[in-house]
Chain A
Amino acid sequence: MNYGVVSQEQLEKIDEILSEQLIKIGVDCVIIIDMAGNIITAKDNGTSKYDVYSFAALAAGNFATVDAMAKLVGEQEFSLLFHKGTDCNIHFSKIDEELLLITMFGKHISLGFLRLNVVKALEQIRKLWAGK
């Protein structure tokens, strides 16, 4: 596994994708983490203040737990992992076996619209990854 080091160029391209597809539509914060809880990159709209390191540790744990539960009931995976709050929602999606994309967004964005944009971002990131 070599994903442990990501080049500056790749990171910049990923950040561009995240800005273009997600921050632009009004998402508060996007984080890419690996399944061990490390942060690959984090982007926000400039106003949100999260403790991203603790967040990444908890998010990786949360995802891993749900994934393990899926396997226990004989599912490959639960494809939608989404937490809904009053002011903040959190959406998880798997980029590949090692990476997760986590999006935090407010009530002015619908889940459907967000998912559409997440899918686009995922496609672009996977393409970038495949071409490295």
Chain B
Amino acid sequence: MSFINLREKIVQVKVVYYGPGRGGKTSNLEYINRKFSKQIQSEMVSLKTHGDRTLFFDFLPFDMGKIKGYELKIQLYTVPGQVKYNATRKLVLKGVDGLVFVADAQEAMREKNIRSLNQLHENLKGYKESIFKIPLVMQYNKVDLRNQGIPVLPTAVLEKDLNSKLKVPSFEASALTGYNVPETLKKIISSTVVSVQKKLL
């Protein structure tokens, strides 16, 4: 749930990066943190294990500047992708306004992507939200691995697996090189802002 402060003219919007473990959610935020340092006024918060896996969430507040006189603050979060952390994933989804689903494009991850997306669908229902209604962008991450001879699913297959019913905007990406990371972010921000405007103003 976004929050609008009419006195200070600040709009806060919550965007969550969701997806299977090791898919590259944290790497997306790390890239954004490095590349857009001007728009980030505080440290990225990462609650993680010693092995650098997300334990609770990453948090990165991203300042969009003024839109129609309102200061727009996009609060970026990631969930922990490991299967055992679903209770925590649900907590992070509380009040979500927009979602990026970070799929791992490696062939070996095909099942895990589908299972994670199905669980997102269930988790949203728990908050009376619908995966078909909430602003959502698909990201097929790690496509850079193609150049290393690692089997990566063709985008058409990923689209069929994950996006045939949802039909949301999608991007091939590499959170490692940054390819399409800003594009994913821009897309989810614009869809989310439009939906928040419709809901609240």
A contacts, CB < 8 Å to B: 1, 3-8, 11-12, 34-41, 51, 53-54, 57-58, 60-61, 64-65, 68
Q: Which of A7, A54, A57, A68 gathers most chain B CB within 10 Å? A: A57
Known A-B contacts A4-B2, A5-B200, A34-B3; the reply to A54 vs B95 at CB < 8 A is no
Check if B91 sits within 8 Å of A39, measured CB to CB: no
Instruction: Looking at the assembled complex, report how far the CB atom of A10 sits from the nearest CB atom of chain B, in whole angstroms.
Output: 9
B77 close to A (CB within 8 Å): yes
B125 close to A (CB within 8 Å): no
- Chain A residues, CB < 8 A from B14: 36-38
Shortest 10 CB-CB distances between A and B: which pairs? A36-B95, A38-B3, A57-B59, A64-B91, A8-B7, A38-B12, A51-B42, A53-B61, A5-B4, A11-B7
Known A-B contacts A4-B200, A34-B95, A64-B94; the reply to A53 vs B1 at CB < 8 A is no
In B6-30, the 8 Å CB interface with A consists of 6-7, 12, 14
- Chain B residues, CB < 8 A from A41: 5
- Chain A residues, CB < 8 A from B57: 57, 61
- 14 more contacts with CB within 8 A, not counting A37-B75, A38-B3, are A4-B199, A4-B200, A5-B200, A35-B94, A36-B1, A36-B14, A36-B95, A37-B95, A38-B95, A41-B5, A58-B59, A65-B56, A65-B88, A65-B91
Check if A57 sits within 8 Å of B77, measured CB to CB: yes
B73 close to A (CB within 8 Å): yes
Give Cα A68 to B3, complex, Å.
24
- Chain A residues, CB < 8 A from B56: 61, 65
B contacts, CB < 8 Å to A: 1-7, 12, 14, 42-43, 45, 47, 56-57, 59, 61, 73, 75, 77, 87-88, 91-92, 94-96, 199-200
Check if B1 sits within 8 Å of A57, measured CB to CB: no
Taking a contact as CB atoms closer than 8 A, the residue among B5, B87, B96 that contacts A6 in the complex is: B5
Check if A54 sits within 8 Å of B7, measured CB to CB: no
- Chain A residues, CB < 8 A from B92: 61
Check if A53 sits within 8 Å of B42, measured CB to CB: yes
Check if A34 sits within 8 Å of B1, measured CB to CB: yes
Instruction: Closest A residue to B201 by CB, please name it.
Output: A5
Check if A57 sits within 8 Å of B45, measured CB to CB: yes
Known A-B contacts A38-B14, A38-B75, A54-B61; the reply to A5 vs B42 at CB < 8 A is no
Instruction: Looking at the assembled complex, report how far the CB atom of B128 sits from the nearest CB atom of chain A, in whole angstroms.
Output: 10
Instruction: Looking at the assembled complex, report how far the CB atom of A52 sits from the nearest CB atom of chain B, in whole angstroms.
Output: 9
Check if B1 sits within 8 Å of A5, measured CB to CB: no
- Chain A residues, CB < 8 A from B1: 1, 3-4, 34, 36, 38
- Chain A residues, CB < 8 A from B199: 4
Instruction: Closest A residue to B77 by CB, please name it.
Output: A57
Instruction: Closest A residue to B4 by CB, please name it.
Output: A5
Give Cα A93 to B110, complex, Å.
44
Give Cα A51 to B6, complex, Å.
21
